[in-house]
Structure 1
Amino acid sequence: MAKASGPRPKPRPKEGKLSVYLYIPNIIGYVRVLMNSVAFAICFSNKRAFSVLYFVSFVCDAIDGWCARKFNQVSTFGAVLDMVTDRVSTACLLVVLSQVYRPGLVFLSLLALDISSHWLQMYSTFLTGKTSHKDVKDSTNWLFKAYYGNRMFMAYCCVSCEVLYIILFLIAKSQSSLVDVLLGTLQQVSLLSVLVALSLFGWAAKQLVNVIQMKAAADVCVLYDIKKKQKQ
């Protein structure tokens, strides 16, 4: 029997390194880095401009994820660029807050928790062979699963953190007392006090998730070592 003749499908062109670097979501990532660089360069001279640039950069974090899915341009480099930009941006803001509030150690401790929690989670992801650090289906903690399993809840917690930090920066005075500023703001009957209260709840939930995440990721690393020794 003769084989059916017809035009052969053209093979997909191979992607080079440059094409991946120029993915739309990755370009958005570069713009985020630029905006954050400018924002922190002017943070003490123009608080409002800093806040706008910082928040727009934060919003772009959601846009680049949408673009990656929309245009089928998901990449490991893009995921790493996204996470590094997020962590560095938040870390820089926490360092700034530690300089204008007392006790500054509060913000430095939050910085350490944020970085160590996410770094351990990423490392444990590679150890278990998962493709995403957000894959926590096997977790037994309901809050941890709810955070990564519900986009709306996760977005609320993340936005709450950034909004709270930006507000604290905007209303801060030199060497302000963190407790006094928070209590003074919450005691007022205003839109700002409502926004701070809502942000505090989401912020607290995210810090709790960070603690749970760090413990869960550390357990994965320990179990990996135990299994590795058992095979020897």
Structure 2
Amino acid sequence: MVLNFAHRGSLTEAPENTLSSIKKAVAHKAKGIELDVQLTKDNHLVVIHDHRFKRFNKNYGLVQAYTLAEIKQIDVGSSFSKEFAGEPLATLAEILEIVPRNTILNIEIKNIPVIYPGIEETLIHCLAEHDRMDHILISSFDHVALKKVQELDPDIPIGMLFYYRLLEPWKYAKNSGLRVASIHPNVVYTDKAFIAACHRYGYKVFPFTVNRMSQYRKLVEWGVDGVFSNNPEIFTQS
């Protein structure tokens, strides 16, 4: 079965990484949902992709400079449409309360270029506190963070994110010493040979971000294990 992830929830229908966006993805019966976590000034996991708020037309500083209470006062919904005016960012804890337990959550640690000391411990503690240690995949471009996750809990599946075109990333993953479950490459260089090589080394392949149905069909034909997509027509496929 191909496992597709709703990228930051259903971001074409609601402001990304908000409760509304996640609820839209759940309503579509998405088998997987991807979201991004960072730490607030007072050490809460807030769900946001960028390290600043410019994506939401807000001229604030870094996420880490604000407490959760301060961030909850920031209206991110109105940048999407009047329908969502007043909607704030969500916390991971809030999202864990609404996502069905059989939905796989890919939680990306956004640890570059801002490094959040201790985010790995905070994340695992949050998951344990909400009894959500199953159906979880933790990914990051920061492979040191993935190493810390594995040291804290070797049973949590981890996914290695790669943005640039590297030489034989499947060999890098194998030589990293990590028990990598999946490789998450940029779709622009994901082809049949790349997928086959990853599979030979025992890794699933989940490219980002696949929004065209024609591109998705080609990847499935090549044997991809799933994709991250903004397109409900794709992320509801299985």
TM-score, normalising length: structure 1: 0.25
Give the structure with the larger strand fraction.
2
TM-score, normalising length: structure 2: 0.25
Structure exhibiting the larger radius of gyration computed from Cα positions: 1
